[in-house]
Chains A and B, each alone.
Chain A
């Protein structure tokens, strides 16, 4: 895939080519050792142990028993449904990212300051964002205080399944739109300004230009963001859920990684946890492959 980058020409002396190979392998060594030893090997171990009744110390091969249990576990079904529900956040993040990017692109007074400010949620830990949002939604907390004049009493936001989910989604959207905005802005920067000028001369309205020029030109970035955010919904909600709801009420906000955490690190069922982790890995792998296959030309698009 990177043949065009093959710098040394074919007729270079054998001696130099050998030296190039020695250098390449030495240079790749740190990354290779760490990635193979601490990621690839453990993935293999997780795969193997998903077919065992591993408790962290001993393990016995039990075939597909773990997977059989998983597919008959009502909680797991709930957990996967939760992940699907949390996908609501994806279009919301996309919309928020697009709106803020388009507004920043107008370059009104202070737009650089706004761009600076919109990044702030992105540099905060999900733990901080999560704890903050959960205090907002405590009974009698900030949100209840705002709603008091409207005649709404104290509402147990985090005790209601749907309200709790929306709090998690809200925190996730707030924390994520900055990244989406950047990706969209960097795509918009590659759009030829002449296109807008030509459209303006033809009398196209601002909306018309947004719909007919901007959005088609950045559609690649929008698709990229969709896939990335779908992946994040499956892999990155752990911290939010841990601090906002601890998976509750009941299992209403428990995600796959959070449930895997509970089964292994709190209940000690490592084999079962390994099977769950493997399922999660397969989902994410499928999405990653889809991402790579859908956008093979990413680097070309982003120019240089």
Chain B
């Protein structure tokens, strides 16, 4: 692959794939600023006069910004709880092994890819019976629990890379296990934990199923169910739909753009397997 021609071909191929991943965002952005009639005529044209009326239509007809807040309200605590609980568990699994720990680790491994519906059937009934339907607390805890197995699994392989000698040295110096976790594992494992935190954020923010089932009242609805129902409401007004999709994607896109360096490096270091 040294020749200029072949490198040009590779570049062209990459560009085509790149267009396919970016163009949908541009499509959403451009069409969100056009009128429904203009879209009908040609979905690919540029806006002739830029208008933000789709956005005001979106905000006036759907509690869209509230749904973003609801999502943040659930996702942020769940991400912190899940990452923290996973890192503690992963620390025990790798550096302070105990008998019962292995049982728990294998349990997590077995249910890591479990479809959410298996647990959500009884949990939904339980939540409804205890009068906690449309309450954020159960949703936060369930999202936390569901994300712990994968987080623990990833952090376990991450913490394994931290040499035992480092832990031993700290122990010999008289550091308690809590101190080892706080002063040794967390600083060294920080990139891995950030990657796991971002993945957990994406998982929960982007999930439809649990939010749809647990938080269906208008005053608790998260952003994904709101978006899912938009397509039914605005089939004839695509620009409003595009405005909603773009705004719904913005938080994760921003998170990705801001953390891309650490995130990509974390993913490439084999953190995802």
Inter-chain contact A224/B273, CB cutoff 8 Å: yes
Which residues of A lie under 8 Å from residue B245 when comparing CB positions? 128, 131-132
Instruction: Give per-residue flags for B198-230: 1 if the beta carbon is below 8 A from chain A beta carbons, else 0.
Output: 000010011111001100000000001001101
Contact of A298 among B13, B81, B273 (CB under 8 A): B273
Pick the 10 closest A-B CB pairs, nearest first.
A125-B206, A302-B270, A38-B145, A45-B122, A31-B89, A304-B161, A34-B145, A239-B208, A42-B119, A30-B85
Interface secondary structure of A, over-half rule:
helix
CB atoms of B113 and A43 under 8 A apart: no
Least Cβ–Cβ distance between A277 and chain B, in angstroms: 5
Interface residue A213 (Cβ < 8 Å from any Cβ of B): no
Answer whether residue A151 sits at the interface, using C-beta atoms and an 8 A cutoff: no
B118 engages A118 (CB within 8 Å): no
Instruction: Please pick, from B43, B113, B224, the residue contacting A239 in the complex, using a CB distance under 8 A.
Output: B224
Complex contact A24–B20 (CB within 8 A): no
Cα–Cα distance between A59 and B148 once the two chains are bound (Å): 31
What residues on A are CB-neighbors of B108 within 8 Å? 31, 35
Stretch from A3-11, A85-93, A159-167 that touches the partner: A3-11
The one of B109, B123, B177 that contacts A292, using a Cβ cutoff of 8 Å: B109
Q: How far, in angstroms, from A9 to B149 measured CA to CA in the complex?
A: 29
Contact A42 B206 (CB under 8 A): no
Q: Are A7 and B43 in contact (CB under 8 A)?
A: no
Count contacts on B: residues with CB < 8 A to the other chain.
Answer: 110
Does residue A98 face the partner (Cβ distance < 8 Å to B)?
no
Q: Please, how many angstroms separate the alpha-carbon atoms of A280 and B119 in the complex?
A: 12
A6 to B102, CA, bound (A): 12
Name the residue of chain A whose CB is nearest to the CB of B19.
A117
Contact with A302, one of B7, B18, B107, B273 (Cβ below 8 angstroms): B273
Note all chain A residues with C-beta closer than 8 A to B7: 106, 108-109
Q: Select from chain A the residue with minimum beta-carbon distance to B28.
A: A132
User: Is the C-beta of A194 less than 8 angstroms from some C-beta in chain B?
Assistant: no
A185 touches B113 (CB 8 A): no
With a cutoff of 8 Å between Cβ atoms, the chain B residues found around residue A257 in the complex are 115-117, 209
Closest beta carbon of chain A to B171's beta carbon, Å: 7
- Which residues in B have their C-beta under 8 angstroms from that of A49? 121-122
Residues of A within 8 A of B260 (CB): 116, 119
Known contacts: A39-B146, A280-B115, A288-B112. The answer to whether A138 contacts B235 by CB under 8 A is yes
A251: which B residues are within 8 A, CB to CB?
A: none
Q: Does the CB pair B21–A31 fall under 8 Å? A: no
Q: A215 on the interface (CB 8 Å rule)?
A: no
Q: Which A-chain residue is minimally distant from B111 (CB atoms)?
A: A39
A145-B256 contact, Cβ under 8 Å, with A2-B94, A31-B152, A238-B208: no
Select B228's contact among A127, A132, A234, A273, beta carbons within 8 Å.
A127
Question: Would you call A81 an interface residue if the criterion is a C-beta within 8 Å of the partner chain's C-beta atoms?
Answer: no
Task: Say yes or no for B252: interface residue by CB 8 A criterion.
Answer: yes
Could you tell me how many residues of chain A have their Cβ less than 8 Å away from some Cβ of chain B? 107
Q: A135, B238: Cβ atoms under 8 Å?
A: yes
Residues from 240 to 298 in A contacting B, C-beta threshold 8 Å: 242-243, 257, 260-261, 264-265, 270, 273-274, 277-278, 280-281, 284-285, 287-289, 292, 298
Q: Are A56 and B128 in contact (CB under 8 A)?
A: yes
Closest residue of A by beta carbon distance from B212: A242
Query: Which of B14, B20, B81, B252 is in CB contact (< 8 Å) with A174?
Result: B20
Q: Which residues of B contact A121 (CB under 8 A)?
A: 21
- In the complex, are the beta carbons of A281 and B44 less than 8 A apart? no
Bound Cα distance A261, B224 (Å):
17
* Bitwise interface map of B from 100 to 133 toward A, beta carbon under 8 Å scored 1, else 0: 1110100111111111111111111100100000
Q: Does A142 count as interface, using CB distance less than 8 angstroms? A: yes
B51 interface residue (CB < 8 Å to A): no
- Given A7-B95, A38-B141, the answer on whether A120 and B164 have CB atoms closer than 8 Å is no
B144, chain A: closest CB distance, angstroms: 6
Give, as a whole number of angstroms, the nearest-CB distance from A119 to chain B.
Answer: 7
Give the chain A neighbours of B112 by CB distance below 8 A. 288
Q: Is B137 close to A, CB under 8 A? A: no
CB distance from B40 to the nearest CB of A (A): 7
Smallest CB-CB separation from B213: which chain A residue? A265
Min CB distance A206 to B, Å, is 5
What is the minimal beta-carbon distance from B200 to any residue of chain A, in angstroms? 13
Indicate if the CB atoms of A125 and B96 lie closer than 8 Å. Answer: no
**A and B contact pairs by CB, cutoff 8 A, 21 listed:** A24-B92, A27-B181, A31-B86, A34-B144, A38-B145, A39-B114, A42-B118, A46-B119, A106-B1, A108-B11, A119-B260, A120-B256, A125-B224, A127-B248, A141-B43, A174-B21, A224-B273, A242-B212, A243-B228, A277-B115, A302-B270
